[in-house]
Amino acid sequence: MKLLSSPFLVCLTAALSSAFLISPPHMWTKLILTHHWPTTFCSMEHCHPNISYWTLHGLWPDKGIDCNSSWHFNFSEIEDLRPDMVKSWPDLRNSSSAGFWKYEWHKHGTCAAKADSLNSQHKYFSKALELYHKLDLDSILKKFDITPSEKYYTLSQIEGVIENFYRVKPKIQCAHPSKNAGVQTLGQIEICFHSDFTLLDCEKHATVKTFSKGGWDNLMGVDKSSGFSVCDPDTPVYYPPPS
């Protein structure tokens, strides 16, 4: 068997290097725009936001967490976004704090910033707000009669509205107060995007995405074994009215 010629090896190495630069192995491929329902959140965290619309939880790339601990959050870089941030992306536990935004930047923003389109704090937060307003999830649900109510919905009713309007599959998550509860409470809706910000089907893995005091990672007041997870298609869904 003849050895490959040196010019061939040089070309192969260059091609592989080029491919690596274009698609680095740890680069994310999907963004998850996550909305949460304040009434559900605050029933578990004992906050009182007096908000009657879906708010932003975050914009999450599908790969990476805390990608650059040295890239510190600097609110002065997004000062111009403050009015919209306070309204659309509030810290439901402490409306006067920027701690939630700092947390989202460190955990998710520093990873999203691997893409040139999101490679600054201003780009990251402004793009999340832009996508949130373009989707206008709160208005779409209301338009098709999915409104907070004492009556229960089926998961298929909520999914159907979102799928029919946006033409993609969402990931809808509920809180489960106990293992054998006869109802689940609507808490979070994820809608996904390609890296070019076009809509994409979300994968419905039954992973837990939760919040916590201080860390936004554990739900309070719900059964720890079930947590805050993908809604059960066979269990009625409670969409609680603002208190």
Encode the chain (243 residues) as per-residue pLDDT tens digits. 444 444 433 343 343 333 333 335 568 999 999 999 999 998 888 787 789 999 999 999 999 999 999 999 999 999 999 999 999 999 998 888 899 999 999 999 999 999 999 999 999 999 999 999 999 999 999 999 999 999 999 999 999 999 999 999 999 999 987 666 789 999 999 999 999 999 999 986 544 344 433 344 433 333 333 347 899 999 999 999 997
Clarify whether 57 is annotated catalytic.
yes
- Choosing from 45, 104, 159, 190, which is the catalytic residue? 104
Q: Which candidate, 229, 211, 55, 207, places its Cα nearest to that of 135?
A: 55
Q: Which candidate, 198, 185, 199, places its Cα nearest to that of 229?
A: 185
User: In whole angstroms, what is the distance from residue 65 CA to residue 110 CA?
Assistant: 8
- Choosing from 36, 106, 108, 176, which is the catalytic residue? 108
User: In whole angstroms, what is the distance from residue 109 CA to residue 119 CA?
Assistant: 9
- The CATH architecture of the domain made up of 29-238 is Alpha-Beta Complex (3.90)
Cβ atoms of 219 and 210 within 8 Å: the answer is yes
Q: Is the pTM of this model over 0.85?
A: no
Q: Which candidate, 227, 232, 187, 223, places its Cα nearest to that of 207?
A: 227
How long is the chain? 243
Cβ atoms of 101 and 73 within 8 Å: the answer is yes
User: In whole angstroms, what is the distance from residue 110 CA to residue 61 CA?
Assistant: 10
Q: How far is CA 16 from CA 29, 123, 146, in A?
A: 20, 31, 50
Q: Which candidate, 113, 78, 95, places its Cα nearest to that of 42?
A: 95
pLDDT at 204: 63
3-state secondary structure the chain: CCCCCHHHHHHHHHHHHHHHHHCCCCCCCEEEEEEECHHHHHHHHCCCCCCCCCEEEEEEECCCCCCCCCCCCCHHHHHHHHHHHHHHCCCCCCCCCCHHHHHHHHHHHHHHCCCHHHCCHHHHHHHHHHHHHHHCHHHHHHHCCCCCCCCEECHHHHHHHHHHHHCCCCEEEEECCCCCCCCEEEEEEEEEEECCCCEECCCCCCCCCCCCCCCCCCCCCCCCCCCEEECCCCCCEECCCCC
Clarify whether 104 is annotated catalytic.
yes
- Choosing from 36, 57, 106, 176, which is the catalytic residue? 57
What is the rounded radius of gyration, in angstroms, for the C-alpha atoms of the chain? 21
Clarify whether 205 is annotated catalytic.
no
